Amino acid sequence: MARLAGKVACVTASTDGIGFAIAHRLAREGARVVISSRKQDNVQKAVDALKKEKFDIYGTVCHVSKSDDRKRLLDETIKKYGKLDILVSNAAISPRVGNILETTESEWEKIFDVNVKSAFFLIKEAIPYLEAQKNSSIVIVSSIAGYSPMDLIGAYSVSKTTLLGLTKALVNPCIEKGIRINAIAPGIIKTKFSRSLWDNDNNGKESEDVLFDGCAIGRVGTPDECANTVAFLASDDASYITGETIVVAGGMPSHL
């Protein structure tokens, strides 16, 4: 399994959950991977875990809403590995769980700064490096909530709908530079980030076989199942695919 041998990948928010699984899968496929997160301790733990498997990994702190941090992330990627072939934009926040009408202006600003604006600017800033490589690829992590907004995370859902549009809007500007751009839309995935959605047991007991409304497979998804799709999109196996969002949600409805 070496579809990405010789490639260099950069994955944001990649020390836990879906991001970590993506970094792990890309490394398994042969890529050299740069991981990042807001906290140095988390970065170091993730780097150590991946290096135990003999992967070529580099980690750095990056708060994607800060332009200096984004610049450092890209600069360190180029300094360490000399190029960039794959960019995975995974960073996201959801500071409120509850009625969307209770979302404050500052919460809206934080959500869109991290989930949307930062994704756009990181992609824009990475394009000169991606353009320099053949068959380079960008993957954005959106959400099934972008198709069917969830009551508990309404503002977050709206930001993920925006990423569906961003993926489409960037197709022509990217393909002119030889870069494919796609997205995935995970469903209810077993991560700390989405725990309030899949753990409905008052005692905190994990409930993996909850039958979610509209989920044909009827279980929580795993980060690895998302990572598998990202690895495909980043590889030459997806060389004729751009501007698409692949839903990884167990059959949940996914139409705007």
Cα→Cα distances 174→34, 57, 162, Å: 22, 27, 18
User: Among 7-11, 129-133, 218-222, 228-232, whose mean pLDDT is lowest?
Assistant: 218-222
Question: CB 195: neighbour CB atoms within 10 A?
Answer: 11
Q: How confident is the model at residue 236 (pLDDT cuts 50, 70, 90)?
A: very high
pLDDT in tens, 136-161: 999 999 999 999 998 889 999 999 99
Distance, in Å, from the CA atom of 5 to the CA atom of 31, rounded to the nearest integer, reads: 5
Domain limits, the chain: 8-248
Phi then psi for residue 89, to 5 deg, are: -95, 105
Contact 36, 28 (CB under 8 A): no
Task: Summarize pLDDT for 158-176 with one digit per residue, the tens.
Answer: 999 999 999 999 999 999 9
The tokens for 95 are 């500071």
Domain 8-248 homologous superfamily, CATH: NAD(P)-binding Rossmann-like Domain (3.40.50.720)
232-238: average pLDDT:
98
What is the model's pLDDT at position 80?
99
Rounded CA separation 190/165 (Å):
26
pLDDT, average across residues 10-29: 98
Query: Residue 184 in contact with residue 142, Cβ under 8 Å?
Result: yes
Which among 59, 45, 48, 7 is positioned nearest to 28, based on CA atoms? 7
Q: What pLDDT was estimated at residue 211? A: 42
Average pLDDT over residues 130-140: 98
- Nearest to residue 242, comparing CAs of 186, 185, 183, 187? 183
SS3 for 221-233 is ECHHHHHHHHHHH
Per DSSP, the three-state class of 157 is helix
| Helix-helix angle 223-234:17-28, to 10 degrees | 50
**22-41 average pLDDT score:** 98
pLDDT average, residue stretch 187-201: 70
Pick the more confident residue, 186 or 193.
Answer: 186
Phi-psi map region of 62: left, alpha, beta (phi>0 left; psi -120 to 50 alpha):
beta
What mean pLDDT is predicted for residues 110-132? 98
pLDDT at 36 over 60: yes
CB 159 within 8 A of CB 116: yes
Q: For all residues of the chain together, what is the average pLDDT?
A: 93
Please report the pLDDT score of residue 206 as a whole number: 45
Give every CB contact of residue 147 below 8 A, 6+ residues apart in sequence.
161, 164, 185, 247, 253, 254, 255, 256
The residues that are catalytic are: 156
Q: How confident is the model at residue 63 (pLDDT cuts 50, 70, 90)?
A: very high
* Mean pLDDT of the region 197-208: 50
pLDDT tens digits for range 65-118: 999 999 999 999 999 999 999 999 999 999 888 999 999 999 999 999 999 999
Query: What confidence category does residue 209 fall into, taking pLDDT thresholds of 50, 70 and 90?
Result: very low
pLDDT of residue 253: 84
Tokens of 123: 């992609």
Task: Name the pTM for this structure.
Answer: 0.93
Diameter of the chain measured on Cα atoms: 53
